[in-house]
Amino acid sequence: MDPQWADFLMSPIINTTISKLISTAADEISLAVGCKKELETLQNKLRMIKDVLLDAEERQVRDRAVKGWLEKLRDVVFEADDVLDEVTYESEKCKVKNQDQKLKKIKTILFRRGIAKKINKIIALMEAINNEARELGLQNRLAGTVVSERRRNAQTHSTIGDLSEVVGREDDISKMVHLLTDSSNELRLCVLSLVGMPGLGKTTLAQAVCNDKRIKNYFGKIMWVCATDSFEVERILTEMLESLSGNSCAVKNKNTVIQKIREAMGENNFLLVLDDMWDEESHGKFEDLRSCLLGVCKMSRNRVIVTTRNEKVALKMRTLPQHMHHLGKLQIANCWSIIRKRVPRDASITLELEKIGRDIAQLCGGVPLVARIHDLQIQKNPMANITKGSAPATLPIMVAIFDISFFEL
């Protein structure tokens, strides 16, 4: 695997493995299969490390010491994974009936003594890694004590540069447009949710819908708010006003902002996009926002599009089943089209290279973002990556990581 890809994948893989270990430890504790105290201590150490992992991921690019810390953590985490696999296997063996009870008891005691030593060794290594994290100044970004640079840079918008970039989504666009402009739906406010795993292109699809002529003709006002950060009603209202006016808003009073939105709205119906919603605890806050939205709209047939990777979020946003659209994966031909479009026109693609390119497209697993990431590599070194053995080692891992949300990517 290319070293750059290995660095890129290391932190998400560690994060996923730690999450699995915490869950496994909790299961074994609840089953009370020996070593309860050691498992609880290990679980706490893992949680402490998980809290600083996002900071480490962002700093490893410019700080070799942090990169080294991640490599040590990776080795210890994989060792812990092996140990907990032993614990799980022993738990399953204990469930087997028709065993000699005395012999079973002796084996269990011996196993617990042996595994306790292994867990304590892992705990000691975890403690050393936690101490090193403090020395490196790694901070808890998951608890909100520091604003993540990734979050600040993840703001989305309604503008789409080139509609030809939207590949294989014609049916999805048509369905969304139909749902949004359905004349039989006369509700004052209706929520439609676009649900799908990270990397499928939910934001791109929402952009394409907003830029569709039918949508522009149907809605008097279209607003876009990136909801990736914590769901705060005041922030969303402020960004709605900024979207309407095209100017930054210095007004802090909630009622004043609502009044200004009402004035800017006039006699128009509106479409509001809440892009990348992931906060499952935002139900009560959405009810507050809903009340505000009903207060600013004089007309009927106002719509809200929610893009989210989590169906639970969609349901909490009051999305009816018929107004929920699950975004599927692309066809292999579509992934190849994404990759092929980025190859410079003066680059020659032989039949052999095209076959390899299509093989790479198949390994993208129908996830357009994976295809676009490979695009970027091709742009840096045209066609250099469409060679045998270049992608097969990396893309399946990429797809697996996207499937488990890639660290809230």
Can you tell me the distance from the alpha carbon of 271 to that of 224, in angstroms, rounded to the nearest whole number?
8
Categorize the per-residue pLDDT at 40 as very low, low, confident or very high, splitting at 50, 70 and 90. confident
pLDDT digits (tens, 9 = 90+) for 320-369: 999 999 999 999 888 888 887 766 666 667 787 778 778 878 877 888 87
State residue 164's pLDDT score: 63
User: Above 70 in pLDDT, residue 142?
Assistant: no
Query: Angle at the Cα of 306 (from 302 to 312), degrees rounded to 5?
Result: 125
State residue 91's pLDDT score: 66
Whether this prediction's pTM lies above 0.75 is answered by no
User: Above 60 in pLDDT, residue 1?
Assistant: no
Section 168-190 average pLDDT: 92
CATH assignment of 154-326? Answer: 3.40.50.300
Domain coordinates in residue numbering, the chain? 3-150, 154-326, 332-403
pLDDT digits (tens, 9 = 90+) for 202-232: 999 999 999 999 999 999 999 999 887 667 8
State residue 271's pLDDT score: 96
Section 160-167 average pLDDT: 66
Section 364-390 average pLDDT: 57
Section 90-109 average pLDDT: 58
Quote the distance between the C-alpha of residue 56 and its chain's center. Answer: 18
How many CA atoms, within 13 angstroms, populate the side-chain half-sphere of residue 262? 13
Of 229, 318, 235, residue with least CA distance to 277:
229
Are 279 and 247 spatial neighbours (Cβ–Cβ below 8 Å)? no
Of 195, 129, 158, residue with least CA distance to 327:
195
Can you tell me the distance from the alpha carbon of 133 to that of 239, in angstroms, rounded to the nearest whole number?
37
